[in-house]
Copies of this chain bind each other. A is one copy, B any other.
Amino acid sequence: MIKLIIDCFGGDKSPEANIDGALAALEKYADLELVLSGDEGIVSKKLEGRAYDRARLSVLHAPEVIGCDETPTVAVRQKKESSLMKAVELLRTDGTVHGMVTTGSTGALVAAATLRLGRIPGVKRPAFCPILPTMAGGVVGVCDSGANVEVTPLMLCQFAVMGSLYMESMGVKSPRTALLNVGVEETKGDELRKAAFPLLSSLESVNFVGNMESRDFLSGNYDLVVCDGFSGNVLIKTTEGTAMELLKKLKKDIFSKTIYKLGALLMKRMFADEKDFMDYRNYGGSVLLGCRKIVVKGHGSSNAVSVEKCIEQAYRMQAASVNKRIRESVAELSRFTAD
């Protein structure tokens, strides 16, 4: 049995999307058990009349909600009865619970994970690893996408190890792992990249394929991109922003002439597919790798499908023993005493 706790509040479409996603995942996996964290009155009411396996679903009462505009460290200290903090506390104290999913405040999650949950022994810093679709039909992971704006070469190596194990659990065999850089040559980049390159090359547990220019991010030639959280954040948000703005422009241009509208009518299905393809909510959430337990952060605007995908990510990570394998693999890195 794999047991997860779902934070049902904090997202734009919560609690409905979170509860619907949870019930869908429960239906899909017979060996999945879920705990829903949130106001018991509200959650129970939403569950009324719904068909699900009652033996595998319970509610953990948490009357408070942490908003996205609250200062993370303050909220984490003061809102102990919030759905997020109750979830983290259960995760911390209950050995039978393997992971959690939340669509709430990223800052509060990172603060709570760091202050309360703790890291896997040997891991320097937890790192976010979101997944994006490539134009070749596959997916590509990015680690770190924003948890650590300042990193060391050893941390980049740990991101590579953790990200690789995670991508493997998502079904990618021997993930082709690249270092985000300003050019593909080994000598490119700043001191951080130059120091990290030989270390990454020496890792036996990572299929390191060299530097990657961000131009090739969506090409399908890479399965995992390793970077500091600052440039990783730029990489992800630029990709999402460019795709979104281009779709908006296409739409505007289509409506500028009748003949274009006519043409677009014939291509309606295709444009709907493109929109779906670019909707990051269809690719689940961003995993916070390196925590003692599995932590998946869904987008704030997650719908039920997205929440279900997030739960599936946590489920598959546990099924593949990702955290156990991270603990074993970071030991390999202990020989890098540089930092």
Contact = CB atoms under 8 A, between A and B. Distances in A.
A230 to B, nearest CB: 6
10 contacts: A135-B246, A150-B190, A182-B229, A216-B241, A218-B241, A218-B242, A231-B234, A238-B242, A250-B274, A266-B266
Contacts of A283: none
A274 B253 contact: yes
Given A182-B146, A253-B273, A266-B263, A217 B238 contact: yes
A216 B193 CA distance: 27
A26 to B, nearest CB: 34
Given A253-B274, A274-B250, A234 B260 contact: no
Nearest to A218: B245
Interface in A169-203: 180, 182, 189-191, 193
A274 to B, nearest CB: 7
B237 A149 contact: no
Nearest to A229: B182
Contacts of A241: 214-219
A230 B182 contact: yes
Given A215-B237, A238-B238, 15 more contacts: A149-B190, A180-B234, A182-B233, A214-B238, A214-B241, A217-B238, A217-B241, A219-B245, A231-B231, A234-B234, A235-B238, A249-B274, A262-B266, A263-B264, A263-B265
A259 interface: yes
Given A150-B190, A180-B234, A241-B214, A260 B249 contact: no
Identical copies of this chain, number: 2
Interface residues of A, number: 52
Contacts of A239: 238, 242
Nearest to A233: B182
Contacts of A216: 241
Nearest to A190: B149
A227 B235 CA distance: 14
A243 B240 contact: no
